[in-house]
Chains A and B, each alone.
Chain A
């Protein structure tokens, strides 16, 4: 039955009749190419320092790309272009897109570039792909993202680096010795990469704690939301909903096929934790924050014609998207609040039209603050130049398969997970529109409207 329906659906005439059975209009615009998500996969998201610990970032990215090839049966030379996101760059593979693609067996004739935009890096990779297709330059683009927190570049101090660079140039033994002699103990202390804003020097957790306080989000509310995320993720995992996860045989280790950060605890256990950033009176703890994660994701994006011509049954249309940015100090994590009304307006939709919401959960406090901001007319008027609030998404439609707090948050891989999850949830739950929204370091944000592909 299923195959029959699929083959029937490939008939475009029938597709249109099906589409009309939706209660709402399609967002297709005349003269604008329909761009579709064919499929999306991801490696299991693991807490950093666990099974992936000995890999390199391009290994993880390669696993996601190979998984996508396997899942879609895509001929390797059918891909016009690859765009991949990453945040903390491994210096040896600064264009990680290319290194991963070569190893994954893509044609060496397929160009690849790497993008970076903090936690919305793979969103940027996907919208770059959308742009390439919309502009008529490509028909099939692979987008994705990877983050590998088990190993990050730790540098020598600036003074030490300067000495070492001068050493290369020193010609005589005497010159070298005198340079070596100039090294002081303090020069040996390394520079660690911080999850801190360069412009403000504030760590993201600290900013999240202040944001929660600004919106009056209590510790209890945050712990409750974190628990919800873990509970829903566990349910989704047990119920087999997380079908975007591929199995990955880690060299020298076992086969990994499940996310390992999902830990539904009790409220009492959560309440015991001490604040992690603002001490001793803060509210953001390790348990109500997303944890450091290793993982990679990949999606196949095509023009609708090309997908159909190749015999694919797309999962969803990728429709309007926006990027926003605001003050990186006090509004660092409010991206969803700013991006949501903007993208809805662009699409001519209201919040009520959306059936599925997938928001990136950086911190429980950040999500709660965004929900409160979206519910506030005062905030909309005072800070967003809007007449009224956009409204907060209803919780029964919101991140119902877990989120970054529980599934994990490999910075540059999360965007693809959100979009693929929206497509899968629309298929399972039968809705028409989904909304993805995320915040990112630098005070930036993103949102995208996704429309279900007629079944």
Chain B
């Protein structure tokens, strides 16, 4: 969910609000000229990097369209953006957030529907010329036009990502798309919110023609490409007006058969049913938007346009008022914040990076670094280790060529930036070293000393540890101001979060540089204070301890997984332990147990240790809570692990062992620890706490993160539950002071 792909955009500050009458004199967002009987309408929001369908934009657009429709000399029109890389990125998110009631949002939706209805019924053909992001409301605008031409630029993406913000395409999208691309494709687009690349869009029938992006000429490639797109679009507009170009393309046999089949009501009924049950299975019913989208599409097709549009606008209004939508929008805002460097520009750019340890993490870090054009050394101590890491990087990139997001030549060019080696050659040219060696303080100390002997004075030493305090590692350093923690999440090329940990000795420039590197690697970044487990590991540990206790109390791994996924976690607690690695979990549990005492107790660490002893280290060893077979889809519970659990059996206190209790035991310990991190200053603010929990640990996105969860659930209610658990189990459930403060005063909120 990057800013470009949400279908909404937050407008920049400083927008002037012009009244409609004065806008006639000075239109700022929409302009047009008539060329050869073709009206070329150009959109450009001067207050923002992207175009959004703000109230202002809409007002000017309506004016311009009315002038064009009123001009008998105009026989056709072209709609084009003057911004490189953006057609229309969506509706203005603030416009929706500013609404207080569902009715207000519904009327916004209806205004949009009305404008696009006029566009659809335009007496002259309108060609949408698309270069860059065409998302959400932007796509709805484009599909209301009679013809669409898109550039094949890498920046050109089409999609309806509203579902990712808990909303739906509320300006006719749910009604037009199924007719344009067919029911299955429309469901796929609107329920997943995925981006569609130009080639695919052409195949689907979403656009009619494609235009190649141009290289250097007499103007910059971006500028000339837009000009060229306009020239081509104007030609097509003339062709449409002169009836030399027809909109309808001939349907192939497959298409005809598909149309026939979709024309049968029982077939459609079956499709609705299938899609509905699929959505329920995946979302556990925790996300209302997908279900509302299905309802809109179904109503439109089965009961006609009027009913369909009405349902769409009403559902849009309802969704905008849900806590889920607010949570998702909050995450979106948070993510935008966490994609900025708040520490200024570092003194030097990192041009050469060295990674120590070619394991899963090390190789992953190397991959995301070379992927962005930074030369990287990958050093390991053994040839086998190095070969494995090198292969991991190659595979990661090669998989992209299979998906066609990379050509084989680009892959080879990227790989040429990687230097695999066993020695410290060329470390004298490194600007940053990230170590990802085994999590053992004495090994880390050895590495610090070895590396500092060969790196230049300006070089930053970053450590990718998941739990060891950075200051303890920095103790071996001659220059602790250059030492910083960079905690990546596995698999590094998929997980978006990077947790950066600063000690009180870390310099601001070192932090700025680490953030700059992380941003370059495409990460969403939180910067937290030093301490055992920092923020993320510290929140996860008590939850896993509780999970182990639940397992000891006889809740099976499958039940435990379904309880956690039922709460909204994408991965169940038992599966998560297997993914993280039982050995890592044991290590962390023991370390943090020592640091924080009984508060981190619950499940017996010996359970984990015994599992490690038996070789049940999780997915990587083939066995953990589950058995990981080569082929079988159905995961089987590891009976060996069950035996161990039986030998550590605890009796479940009936008062706190209902399904919902188990869920809240897990979640409340996570949340309480997060709030405590804020209270202790490990976390600088709730926003980074929410982002870290959701992007790094899979905290339910529909809840928006632990802090938003406290706000929406109510701190007092949470504290009541915890008190009940505290009675049964003790201090592991003692709410922290900050949480108690919020419980006492309901006006206190983490998010405004």
Contact = CB atoms under 8 A, between A and B. Distances in A.
Interface residues of B, number: 18
Contact of B215 (A214, A216, A372): A214
Interface string A208-251: 01110111100000000000000000000000000000000000
B218 A330 contact: no
Interface string B211-229: 1101111111100100010
B218 A376 contact: yes
Nearest to B212: A210
Given A199-B409, A214-B221, A281-B232, A382 B211 contact: no
B216 A382 contact: yes
A398 interface: no
Contacts of A331: 215-216
Given A278-B212, A281-B235, A215 B407 contact: no
Interface in A358-386: 369, 372-373, 376, 378-379, 382-383
Given A210-B215, A214-B216, A330 B409 contact: no
A330 B232 CA distance: 19
A168 interface: no
A287 B369 CA distance: 48
Given A199-B409, A200-B407, A200-B409, A214 B232 contact: no
Contact of A330 (B211, B216, B407): B216
B407 A379 contact: no
Contacts of A209: 212
A415 to B, nearest CB: 26
B209 interface: yes
B232 A215 contact: no
A318 B211 CA distance: 44
Which of A200, A214, A330 has the largest number of chain B CB atoms within 10 A?
A: A214
A281 B218 contact: no
Interface in A173-217: 199-201, 206, 209-211, 213-216
Contacts of A329: 215
A330 B215 contact: yes
Nearest to B245: A280
A327 interface: yes
Most A-side CB within 10 Å, residue of B212, B217, B224: B217
Nearest to A328: B409
A216 B218 CA distance: 8
Contact of A378 (B211, B218, B235): B218
Contact of B214 (A213, A327, A372, A383): A213
Given A199-B409, A200-B407, A200-B409, A213 B228 contact: yes
A16 B302 CA distance: 96
A215 B212 contact: no
Most B C-beta atoms less than 10 A away, residue of A278, A280, A281, A329: A281
Contacts, number: 59
A214 B211 contact: no
Contacts of A382: 216, 220
A201 B217 CA distance: 21
A40 B365 CA distance: 59
B215 A211 contact: yes
A297 B411 CA distance: 39
A411 B216 CA distance: 26
Interface in B193-241: 209, 211-212, 214-221, 224, 228, 232, 235-236
B217 A215 contact: yes
Contacts of A372: 217-218
A119 B211 CA distance: 28
A281 B209 contact: yes
Contacts of B214: 210, 213-214, 330
A200 B413 CA distance: 13
Given A278-B212, A281-B232, A201 B218 contact: no
Contacts of A280: 209
Contacts of A379: 216-218
Nearest to A215: B217
A201, A216, A376: residue with the most chain B Cβ atoms closer than 10 Å:
A216
Contacts of B224: 213-214, 216
B184 to A, nearest CB: 27
Interface in A322-347: 327, 329-331
Contacts of A376: 218
Interface string B349-380: 00000000000000000000000000000000
Interface in A13-40: none
A281 B239 CA distance: 11
Contacts of A383: 216
Interface in A383-397: 383
A409 B559 CA distance: 73
A213 B217 CA distance: 8
Contacts of B409: 199-200
Contact of B217 (A216, A278, A327): A216
Nearest to B211: A281
A213 B214 CA distance: 7
Given A278-B212, A281-B209, A281-B211, A214 B407 contact: no
Nearest to B233: A281
Nearest to B149: A281
Contacts of B216: 214, 330-331, 379, 382-383
Interface string B518-530: 0000000000000
Contacts of B215: 210-211, 214, 327, 329-331
A201 B221 contact: no
A200 B236 CA distance: 29
A378 B215 CA distance: 14
A169 to B, nearest CB: 28
A381 to B, nearest CB: 12
Interface in A280-309: 280-281
Nearest to B235: A281
Name the residue in A206, A327, A330, A376 with the highest tally of chain B Cβ atoms < 10 Å from its Cβ: A330
Nearest to A278: B212
Interface string B585-627: 0000000000000000000000000000000000000000000
A331 B217 CA distance: 9
B566 to A, nearest CB: 46
Given A331-B215, A382-B216, 19 more contacts: A200-B407, A211-B215, A213-B214, A213-B228, A214-B216, A215-B217, A216-B217, A216-B218, A216-B224, A278-B212, A280-B209, A281-B209, A281-B232, A327-B215, A330-B221, A331-B216, A373-B217, A382-B220, A383-B216
22 contacts: A199-B407, A200-B409, A201-B407, A206-B212, A209-B212, A210-B212, A211-B215, A213-B217, A214-B224, A215-B217, A215-B218, A278-B212, A280-B209, A281-B209, A281-B232, A281-B235, A329-B215, A330-B215, A331-B215, A372-B218, A373-B218, A383-B216
Which A-B residue pairs are the 10 nearest by beta carbons? Answer: A330-B215, A214-B217, A214-B214, A215-B217, A199-B409, A281-B232, A213-B228, A210-B212, A383-B216, A376-B218
